[in-house]
Amino acid sequence: MGFADGSNNEPVQILIIDSDPVQRRLVSAHLAAGAGPAVQTLAVASRDEAVHKLSGHRPSLILADVETLGGVEALGNLVGAHTRVIATSARGSVHSAVAAIRAGAVDYLPKPFGAAALIERVEAAIVQWNKLGSEPGKITNKLPHPPTAKADPAGFEGFVGLSAPMRAIFDQVERIAPSRAPVFITGESGTGKELCAEAIHSRSGRGGKPFIAINCGAIPKDLMESEIFGHVRGAFTGASDTRPGAAELADGGTLFLDEIGEMELGLQAKLLRFLQSGTVQRVGETTARRVDVRIVSATNRDPFAEIATGRFREDLFYRLHVLPIHMPPLRERADDILLLAETFLARFADEERRDFIGFSDEAASLLMRHAWPGNVRELQNAIRRMVVLNRGTEITAAMLPATIGGVPSVPRQAGPSSRMPDPIVPFWEQERSIIESAVGAFSGNIARAAAALEISPSTIYRKRQAWLEKRSA
């Protein structure tokens, strides 16, 4: 356990604020068992006792029960320049977690929690504290004023997420980033595969070198070889000058091949040769050039199904599939939905100069219940759309797109019945919902979803591409 403060090897001081005496004893016992003499704990039963105890040296970490403090708003008053706060609560919810992080807490731990979860969160908070490189300071007998800047939930290379699946992704990125081995990222469209690739690059030691991304599904097949390997003047019609390809441009850095499953078989063979030799040859040239490039690939397809159907070379797959990462769909990290929504709302409200600061309870509930077949990208687009088309300080259910459960934006005619008709959803959106639900039911396996729907897997791929183009249009 890395609990020593890093400057003088003195025990880390942890203040526990909780009105429940049993909880105070349990937390103290868990920390003592997990870290032994590396920590010193002090437990108080009220906010007033905490104020008194904080009149001397400020502890490295505070474990504060939100209900004991009288509300999440009081968390901000505990945060100091050299103190980290973990909020705890028996009324755990995504709403309260988001509020706690925004109030300045570095983490949120819902009750009941076990010893392993407690020690893991405390250790992570202490690591942050160690990075400050300062001693705990003296303070007055009053709690300090809240910090001017709120904690940023996007604390890991641009990611936004506190859920267990995303913490696992962060851990994977940390562990595999220093390696030179190829990385193969899978996941549905909109789950953040390129952001993951950028995080790997940033933490790999190659961060100061180029990160070059190629979307293999967006470039015409007859130009793909030139895009990756470059060409010389006159190599083909339209080649009016000599230019390097993405592999050369990424020398010393990372080459990200997005939607690798879209690459034609002939080019797959040339890519395999490049991976084996470490050299590139421009189209129309006989000279081979050696480059130092780390390859990160990504696909939203099932690679094993692609191999089975002969659309992807098995030898290339195993050359690329050395360090796999699977990005979880948003429906599997539901704890992050409102955190993401709040983050996007703040960003777009600022960009569009709107006054929105939050969501109504009904709107938040509908956001949580939606399946999000388009994942984070769909959520991001939905929030931007609501911000642009509406005014106010709170996003209400009536402002949500009809596909998420909101009120349709077109007028509805009153009929003889008092019951309002269901909103009419475009056919392509209904089709998308059916297909994505089937894909989700089979854990992303396109081949099995297609078999259940009695359609070809290529139909799903083609329609997904069409939906992606429609969203980006």
Cα separation values, 181 from 54, 198, 275, 293, Å: 49, 15, 11, 10
Same-domain pairing of 38 and 94: yes
Last residue of a domain, one of 75, 108, 130: 130
Q: Distance (Å, rounded) from C-alpha 469 to C-alpha 473?
A: 6
Same-domain pairing of 266 and 193: yes
Condensed to tens digits (0 to 9), the pLDDT of residues 9-60 reads 677 888 899 988 888 888 888 888 776 667 788 888 888 888 777 776 678 7
Alpha helices by DSSP H, 322-456? 337-352, 361-369, 375-389, 427-441, 446-453
Same-domain pairing of 205 and 275: yes
Q: Is residue 6 part of a domain?
A: no
What pLDDT is attached to residue 372?
92
Q: Is residue 3 part of a domain?
A: no
Condensed to tens digits (0 to 9), the pLDDT of residues 215-256 reads 888 888 778 888 899 878 877 777 778 888 899 999 999 999
Same-domain pairing of 171 and 318: yes
Find out whether 288 and 431 touch, Cβ atoms under 8 Å.
no
Same-domain pairing of 51 and 98: yes
Residue 269's pLDDT band (boundaries 50, 70, 90)? very high
Residue 404's pLDDT band (boundaries 50, 70, 90)? confident
Last residue of a domain, one of 81, 114, 130: 130
Find out whether 18 and 24 touch, Cβ atoms under 8 Å.
yes
Count: domains in the chain: 4
How crowded is the C-beta side of 301, counted as CA atoms within 13 Å? 28
Of the segments 48-52, 103-107, 145-149, 262-266, which one has the largest average pLDDT value? 262-266
- Chain centre distance of CA 442: 22
CATH number for 286? 3.40.50.300
Residue 278 CB coordination number (10 Å)? 13
pLDDT for 412 beyond 50: no
Q: Is residue 354 part of a domain?
A: yes
Instruction: Select the more confidently predicted residue: 324 or 161.
Output: 324
How crowded is the C-beta side of 48, counted as CA atoms within 13 Å? 0
pLDDT for 325 beyond 70: yes
Q: Is residue 147 part of a domain?
A: no
CATH number for 75? 3.40.50.2300
What pLDDT is attached to residue 129?
56
Same-domain pairing of 279 and 335: no
State mean pLDDT over 81-108.
74
Same-domain pairing of 376 and 272: no
Q: Which two tokens stand for residue 64?
A: 């504060």
Structural domain including 462 reads: 427-472
pLDDT for 399 beyond 50: yes
Q: Is residue 155 part of a domain?
A: no
Question: Residue-wise over 415-430: b if at least 16 C-beta within 10 A, else e?
Answer: eeeeeeeeeeeeeeee
Q: Distance (Å, rounded) from C-alpha 310 to C-alpha 315?
A: 12
Condensed to tens digits (0 to 9), the pLDDT of residues 148-196 reads 333 344 458 889 888 888 989 999 999 999 999 999 999 999 999 999 9
CATH number for 400? 1.10.8.60
Instruction: Select the more confidently predicted residue: 426 or 262.
Output: 262
| Tokens 């006159």, located at residue | 234
Q: Distance (Å, rounded) from C-alpha 101 to C-alpha 215?
A: 35
Same-domain pairing of 319 and 182: yes
What pLDDT is attached to residue 472?
57
What pLDDT is attached to residue 80?
59
Collapsed DSSP state (helix, strand, coil) of residue 256: strand
Condensed to tens digits (0 to 9), the pLDDT of residues 14-28 reads 889 998 888 888 888
Last residue of a domain, one of 285, 306, 326: 326
Q: Is residue 141 part of a domain?
A: no
Same-domain pairing of 335 and 322: no
Cα separation values, 279 from 229, 282, 285, 290, Å: 10, 10, 13, 4
What pLDDT is attached to residue 327?
95
Same-domain pairing of 42 and 109: yes
Predicted TM-score of the model (pTM) = 0.58
Find out whether 132 and 82 touch, Cβ atoms under 8 Å.
yes
Same-domain pairing of 220 and 299: yes
Same-domain pairing of 320 and 335: no
